[in-house]
Amino acid sequence: MTESTPPPTPKPVPRPIPKPHPVGAAKPAPSRSDSAAAEAAAWGRVDDEGNVWLRSGDGERIVGQYAAEGSKKDALAIYVRRYLDLEAQLALIEARVETVNPEESASALRAFDKQIVKPSAVGDIEGLRNRSAALASRISELRAEHKAKREQAKAEARAQREALVERAEAIAASVNTPINWRDTRAELMELFERWKDAQKNGPRISRSTNDALWKRLSHARKVFEDARRAFFARLEKERAHVVAAKERLISEAEAIAKSTDWRETSNEMRRLMDEWKAAGRASKHDDNVLWERFMAAREVFFSARSAHHAAVDQEFANNLAAKLELLAEAEALLPIDDLDAARAAYRDIGERWEAIGMVPRSDYPRVEGRMRQIADEIRRAEDEQWRRTDPEKKQRSTGMAAQLEALIAELDGEIAAAKEAGDEAKVKELNEARQARQAWLDQVNSDL
């Protein structure tokens, strides 16, 4: 079958003259391109009128003509090369179809299909169309797979951005609880940077979803920043109050720093320290400066108090050494042989003892207690001497002893009568009375 308007006859392209093959040498095997060209040439012919025909399942059609000066073989080769170019284009699309975007492959295939509607080429055009149709089917499959992956990527991207927004909202909801504002703000900024990176480099999600999520993220950031500014405004106000309170405490400490009323001022300094601890904290820099001033005022007083106590401690240590020497003198008075001499010596020691002054508190019970024990020994000796030499007491004791002896003799008679009468209860009562009077008599006799 022929076309009503055949395409213009292309000029034959001169082919290179092959070099003569050496006699007796084996001929080289035909290349893949030569084999493909031969297969393609089988689909065409050139008639005597210079027309180039293409055979297909529907019959034949003229695809071109050739100039009279060219050979039929050369004319056919031109149209075969055109077919091979088309086949190469299709092969390239086939080779890339699994690795490039399906839309790119589809676009390339559409351009290719336009070329094979009625191509001026000789070869298996129907085979190219069949391969193109198969490739179009594969591209459709890949497009569906690509769409599914794209939808999955969008869903994952949406979930990731929702997770970013939910975390930002959780941070915003925590502003009324104790939080680390610096670290939390850094985390919120990181969430924002991750959002921007997802916007720039991640899969695109629907505009409505993206806008809704962005509004939520922006609102969470605004809630956090408003709360942070309000917190630090309150904190600054509280710190100003703390600074004022600590300035007052410093002034009070400086006012009493040179006092020598050690006990009362020490109590006052402790009170100021308690108020300082309860006053709260200012900024780190202000707190450090205020603390140094407060401690400097306290140091003036406590250094002076320490120096005073050191001097007192040295004085008390000297007093202790002197009293220990006097205590040794007092110890030498025992046991007492001459009461009058011991009394006079102790009186002299006591006068010197009182003149010395205080000793360290930890040593006071030991030295003062032993001195009192020696004084007690002397008083007991005096009492014993008086008991032995008191004539009135001796006379009273002698009369008392005689009376007790008479009472005891009388009780002995009553006891004997009770026994004869068999009155055991009376005997027991009289024996107890006799024992009491006998004990009294023994005490009186010991005093004589």
Residue 55 lies in domain:
34-148
pLDDT at residue 23 greater than cutoff 60: no
Q: In this structure, are 420 and 341 located in the same domain?
A: no
Q: In this structure, are 344 and 414 located in the same domain?
A: no
Residue 50 lies in a domain: yes
Q: In this structure, are 353 and 252 located in the same domain?
A: no
Q: In this structure, are 210 and 256 located in the same domain?
A: no
For 54, the token pair is 């293409």
**Which pLDDT band, with edges at 50, 70 and 90, does 437 fall under?**
confident
Q: What percent of the chain has pLDDT over 90?
A: 42
3-class secondary structure, 91: helix
**Which pLDDT band, with edges at 50, 70 and 90, does 106 fall under?**
very high
How does the average pLDDT of the chain come out, rounded?
Answer: 85
Q: Which of 148, 172, 193 is the last residue of a domain?
A: 148
264/275 Cα distance (integer angstroms): 17
Quote the crossing angle between the two packed helices 262-278 and 207-256, to the nearest 10°: 170
Q: What percent of the chain has pLDDT over 70?
A: 89
**57 with 96: CB under 8 angstroms?**
no
**58 with 2: CB under 8 angstroms?**
no
Mean pLDDT of 242-259: 92
Residue 377 lies in a domain: yes
**Which pLDDT band, with edges at 50, 70 and 90, does 445 fall under?**
confident
Tens-digit pLDDT profile for residues 356-370: 888 888 888 988 888
pLDDT for the residue 395: 54
Burial class (CB in 10 A: 0-12, 13-18, 19+), 81: middle
Residue 6 lies in a domain: no
Task: Determine the length of the chain.
Answer: 448
Q: What is the DSSP letter of 101?
A: -
Q: What is the DSSP letter of 361?
A: G
For 110, the token pair is 């559409």
**Which pLDDT band, with edges at 50, 70 and 90, does 393 fall under?**
low
Who contacts 107 (Cβ-Cβ below 8 Å, separation ≥6)?
A: none
Q: In this structure, are 164 and 225 located in the same domain?
A: yes
Q: In this structure, are 107 and 75 located in the same domain?
A: yes
pLDDT for the residue 415: 87
Residue 18 lies in a domain: no
For 30, the token pair is 């035909």
Mean pLDDT of 390-399: 58
**37 with 80: CB under 8 angstroms?**
yes
- How many domains would you assign to the chain? 5
Residue 25 lies in a domain: no
pLDDT for the residue 18: 38
Q: In this structure, are 40 and 137 located in the same domain?
A: yes
Mean pLDDT of 331-360: 87
pLDDT for the residue 17: 33
Q: In this structure, are 156 and 94 located in the same domain?
A: no
pLDDT for the residue 70: 63
Mean pLDDT of 383-390: 73
pLDDT at residue 343 greater than cutoff 90: no
pLDDT at residue 5 greater than cutoff 70: no
Burial class (CB in 10 A: 0-12, 13-18, 19+), 20: exposed
**Peptide bond before 7: cis, by omega within 30 degrees of 0?**
no
Residue 306 lies in a domain: no
Residue 2 lies in a domain: no
251/6 Cα distance (integer angstroms): 115
pLDDT for the residue 386: 78
Q: Which of 124, 148, 172 is the last residue of a domain?
A: 148
Q: Which of 390, 411, 434 is the last residue of a domain?
A: 390
pLDDT at residue 120 greater than cutoff 80: yes
Q: In this structure, are 40 and 143 located in the same domain?
A: yes
Q: In this structure, are 407 and 381 located in the same domain?
A: no
Q: In this structure, are 137 and 199 located in the same domain?
A: no
**142 with 97: CB under 8 angstroms?**
yes
Q: Which of 186, 189, 210, 212 is nearest to 198 (CA)?
A: 210
For 344, the token pair is 């006079």
Residue 350 lies in a domain: yes
pLDDT for the residue 218: 94
Tens-digit pLDDT profile for residues 127-185: 999 999 999 999 999 999 988 988 888 898 999 999 999 999 999 999 999 989 999 99
pLDDT for the residue 367: 86
Q: In this structure, are 432 and 372 located in the same domain?
A: no
pLDDT at residue 331 greater than cutoff 50: yes
Identify the weakest region by mean pLDDT among 143-147, 299-303, 409-413. 409-413
**More confident site: 25 or 405:** 405
pLDDT for the residue 154: 87
Who contacts 69 (Cβ-Cβ below 8 Å, separation ≥6)?
A: 12
Who contacts 169 (Cβ-Cβ below 8 Å, separation ≥6)?
A: 216, 220
3-class secondary structure, 18: coil
Mean pLDDT of 307-319: 89
